[in-house]
Amino acid sequence: MSLPNMHDAEPIPKAARAEIDRLMQSGDLFRYTAAENSPVALLEAEFAGMLGAKYALAVSSCSAALFLSLKALRLPRDARVLIPGFTFAAVPSAVIHADCLPVLCEVGDNYRVDLKDFAAKLPTVQAVIISHMRGHTSDMDAIAQMCGDAGIPMIEDAAHSLGTTWHGRNIGTIGAMGCFSFQSYKMINAGEGGILITDDPDLVAQAIIMSGAYEHNWKKHPVLQGAFSKWQNQLPLYNLRMSNLSAAVIRPQLPHLAKRVSDGRTNHDYVAARLNASMYMAVPEPLSGEDRAPDSIQFNLQGLSDEQVRNFAAAADAAGVKVQVFGMNADNARAFWNWQFIPNLPELPQTRAMLMRACDVRLPVRLKQPELDAIVDVLLTAIDAIAPNPRYGT
Ligand SMILES: *Cc1c(COP(=O)(O)O)cnc(C)c1O
């Protein structure tokens, strides 16, 4: 079996075509032109219903959703916002964009928030963003409890976690607001796009206005109208709206989500079992209570030098499988030391050690078992080539 294409995003279901053609004919691409039921408004209703949230607001990206969430919390300038030290650069960037200061929390070698460091830093911050990086869920019971006890609002960055559940509850519904991405390499592909969900009418009313519902366009959102009256003309308009065209690409993918999630999980667990047979590779276990929705796999290399890690990635690359070692690619956007736009960027020894050994391989959910085997064979052969006495399988 030859290697599959691991780079392409999910194709768009054919069902999207008729609606896209209709929009091209009418030119009705702006979400607020129609009196009701614009594709963006329908997406919001469907997405909120699917996740069990009261309100949804579709926007231009998950970064925009995170930014609007922070603005809706009405944090003072320079408020400190606790974020994991392992996430995508979009997260500290959204904090900076909202005129706040990112405070970085250590992350363990299982890619989850280190609760000891979290507890120590929580009293020093005014808000928290938990980023479920690559879909890995931290202990949300402990985190929600600590934030609740301290009266500190928590936002979930569920950009890459759509379809994950925590004790049966949808990720993104645990915090005050949950933010998701429709960028091409997420579970639902619209090229660009994001959505935020919440049960709080006051938070969503502010986010709706700031997203660009100028004048009385907020009346086209099914939110208690009273929530808007106090914000009319009080908030800046950042114009981060979603276009109808994006919604038309996203909506026909929603019914495919459940299958994508279960295929992705089956693929991930199959590959994880094969990689774990190698003494040099360890795929961290999910936390109990977590049902993941993976479209990639992360594993830690162990017992290898920096040079061996580099050689392994190069050997796999040469054989056609791109392995990203988060901490070893120059300028990697997921390595905290590259977020040099943060004032007084701290050192996080534990997170750094993890990033120097954590590998990332895309596993598009459409792959079939022989294709997965071809990928794993490349990875195991690459380990054989660089580690003197292969000890796997013993
Ligand atoms: C993709 C991603 C983002 C950013 O999403 P955009 O829609 O591209 O802004 C933020 N956080 C995580 C964890 C991501 O994976």
Task: Report the distance separating Cα 345 and Cα 88, nearest Å.
Answer: 15
Closest CA relative to residue 62, chosen from 246, 225, 215, 236: 246
* Shared domain check, 234 and 191: yes
Task: Report the distance separating Cα 189 and Cα 330, nearest Å.
Answer: 27
Domain boundary residue among 207, 238, 255? 255
* Shared domain check, 233 and 161: yes
Radius of gyration, CA atoms only, the chain: 22
Task: Report the distance separating Cα 294 and Cα 287, nearest Å.
Answer: 14
Task: Report the distance separating Cα 345 and Cα 348, nearest Å.
Answer: 10
pLDDT of residue 1: 66
* Shared domain check, 106 and 164: yes
4, part of any domain: no
User: 158 and 144 in contact (C-beta within 8 Å)?
Assistant: no
* Shared domain check, 234 and 268: no
* Shared domain check, 74 and 48: yes
* Shared domain check, 54 and 23: yes
pLDDT in tens, 340-379: 999 999 999 999 999 999 999 999 999 999 999 999 999 9
* Shared domain check, 60 and 99: yes
Domain range enclosing 80? 15-255
Residues having CB closer than 6 A to ligand 1 are 61-63, 87-88, 90-91, 131, 133, 157, 159-160, 181, 183, 194
* Shared domain check, 335 and 241: no
Task: Report the distance separating Cα 327 and Cα 358, nearest Å.
Answer: 8
140, part of any domain: yes
* Shared domain check, 330 and 270: yes
* Shared domain check, 235 and 215: yes
Q: Three-state SS for 296?
A: strand
* Shared domain check, 223 and 75: yes
Domain boundary residue among 239, 255, 271? 255
Task: Report the distance separating Cα 200 and Cα 310, nearest Å.
Answer: 47
* CATH number of the domain to which 355 belongs: 3.90.1150.10
What is the best residue among 62, 292, 332 to mutate for testing ligand 1's pocket, by most ligand atoms within 8 Å of CB?
62
* CATH number of the domain to which 174 belongs: 3.40.640.10
* CB atoms closer than 10 angstroms to residue 303: 11
7, part of any domain: no
How many domains does the chain fold into? 2
The backbone region for 331, taken as left when phi is positive above 0, alpha when psi lies in -120 to 50, beta otherwise, is left
* Shared domain check, 108 and 235: yes
6, part of any domain: no
Segments of the chain scoring below 50 in pLDDT: 392-394
Tell how far CA 169 is from the center of its chain: 17
Q: Give the closest residue (by CA) to ligand 1 atom 5.
A: 62
DSSP 53-92: -SEEEEES-HHHHHHHHHHHTTPPTT-EEEEESSS-THHH
Domain boundary residue among 222, 255, 288? 255
